[in-house]
Structure 1
Amino acid sequence: MILALPAGLALNLGVGVLVLGQGTGALIAGGAYLAGAVLVCVAMRKHYPHARLGACNAVTLMRLALTAALIAPLVGGQAAGWAVAAIATISLTLDGVDGYLARRSGLCSDFGGRFDMEVDAALALVLALHALSGSPVGFEVLILGVMRYLFVGAGLIWPWIMAPLPVSYWRKGGCVLQLATLIALQIPLMPQDLGIVLARVASVALIWSFARDVVWLGRNR
């Protein structure tokens, strides 16, 4: 973990400065990464059942660094674009790598699954803010970025909502659709009407997925 944190910070700053070209924004993004990584360290001490970090969690930390780096162009007023889409695509691609490495190395854990989920949620939120600022899609695109946080907020009011959920390929598919749509909205050549349709279709699918989970949790509390 000690080596993974500075490696992730270096990746974050490198992407922010060299690719996205935002010096001040990269520093802010670096601070966001460090704050997230510290929270991960604290949670890992309490909830991670294995003695070693493993390549799986190192990859998830890398995804966290890439996600935080996308804050840089937002701060610099250069939302969306090809660079944002490319970096987000890399992060989404690595989403399948960390799970594979965890299974192969015998380091699967509830902590690792939750860590991966929260990085996905953070990536969705950052990309939704990019789409809101740099694409023709309206405020409805924020649905794709805030649903996870609304779900967690509801769990603070009704604790039964935060109970463990069974594995669901519908949920995984909804997450992929959510992130793939947000990445597509970063592309400058996206036609306005198509972007709006994609955002609304993905939003409806995501709302349905969360509603399906809430109904299951309510019936099984």
Structure 2
Amino acid sequence: MASGPDRLGEWRQNWVERLSVPDNLLRDTVFDFSLLLAATALAGLCLSLRPELGWEFVLFSVSGAALIFGLCLGALSDHPFDRFGYANLVTAFRACLVSLIGAALFCFEGLVHEKPVLLVMIGIVLLTLALDGVDGYLARRFDQESAFGARFDMEVDALMILVLSSAAALLDKAGLWVMLIGLMRYAFVLASWVDPRLEGELFPSFRRKLVCVVQISALCLLLAPFVIPPVSTVIAFAALALLTYSFAVDLRYLLRKPLATR
């Protein structure tokens, strides 16, 4: 019978083979994720000193980041390089920031009345938005552009938009309909399971990137204490209308695309 260390090594080897991920890539990625989770836990502990947050904030922060990283590991077989890379590391750091924002949103019951906390959240969102350009630059700088990195970056952006649109609803900056801004991306994914045509490849588009930045910027503005209805409602509606238009353009393209060219 194999000893404990032997069984552990055998289990680890089988797991690596199932993931179809090179050992050095998996080791590098797990190391990076472990450091980021530890940093998220430390940040959560520091912020949880506020009595309004508590241990639930730490749990939500770390759990959210861990879930994202777990999904990322599941898709790591599509990563074409032998290292996780600086660009993906920045994206993973952004995922930790989004987890902290989401945890603060759902654990801080008095958020609407705490202007300093809202300003800190706005600062974190702006940092996350600024880093969105850094990871793309690093990918080009070190010649590590990949479909995996682009998808990772897009999903972190989508999650942040969902968190911010939820914040806008909870802060009464607009009706519950504002959450459609964050849910639209996930509705599109669900629709693609029903209609395979929606799984087709989209053409590169500056319009798509611009609309994403506009959504995050608009939702970040809605966090500001001085932005209240009806101004906040108008901003939210304009952001939703722009996003709807962008999705409509892509839907029309995919549904009209000839099968032979997909």
When the two structures are superposed, what TM-score results if normalisation uses the length of structure 1? 0.94
1:13–1:69 contact (8 Å) kept in structure 2: no
Distance change (3 Å), C-alpha of 1:148 and 1:79? farther
Shift of 1:128: 1.0
Q: Does 1:60 align with 2:91?
A: yes
1:135 pairs with 2:172: yes
C-alpha deviation, 1:199, in angstroms: 0.4
Q: Deviations over 1:6-31 (max 9, x none)?
A: 22213323443434743312212211
2:34 and 2:180 mapped to 1: Cα distance?
33
Give yes or no for the alignment of 1:37 onto 2:69: yes
CA contact (8 A) 1:127 1:182 kept: yes
The alpha carbon displacement at 1:72 in A equals 1.9
* CA distance in structure 2 between the partners assigned to 1:17 and 1:128 by the alignment: 26
C-alpha distance in structure 2 between counterparts of 1:171 and 1:206, whole Å: 9
Q: Which residue of 1 aligns with 2:20?
A: none
Structure-1 residue corresponding to 2:23: none
Q: For structure 1, which segment, 28-37 or 114-123, has the greater mean C-alpha deviation from structure 2 after superposition?
A: 28-37
User: Structure 1: which 5+ residue stretches go unaligned?
Assistant: none
Distance 1:124 1:33 in 2: 16
- Structure 1, residues 139-190: CA drift from partner, whole Å, max 9, x if none? 1211211110011010111121021111101111110111101111111111
2:188 counterpart of 1:151: yes
Which residue pairs with 1:10 in the alignment? 38
Q: Which residue of 126, 149, 162 corresponds with 1:89?
A: 126
Asked which structure has the greater RCO (Cα within 8 Å, sep 6+), the reply is 1
1:116 aligns with 2:144: no
Moved over 6 A (4+): none
**C-alpha spacing 1:207/1:135, structure 2 compared with 1 (3 Å):** same
Alignment partner of 2:246 out of 209, 215, 218? 209
Instruction: Specify the alignment match of 2:215 in structure 1.
Output: 178
| Correspondence for 2:144 among 104, 107, 129 | 107
Does the 8 Å contact 1:140/1:200 carry over to 2?
no
> Within 1, Cα distance between the matches of 2:193 and 2:111?
32
Rg: which structure is higher? Answer: 2
How many residues are aligned here? Answer: 220
Give the residue type in structure 1 aligned to 2:87: C
Q: Which residue of 2 aligns with 1:163?
A: 200
Q: For 2:201, what is the secondary structure of its paired residue?
A: coil
| Change in 2 beyond 3 A, CA 1:83/1:200 | same
Q: What is the Cα deviation at residue 71 of structure 1?
A: 2.1
Shift of 1:100: 0.5
- Corresponding residue SS for 1:99: helix
SS of structure 2 residue aligned to 1:165: coil
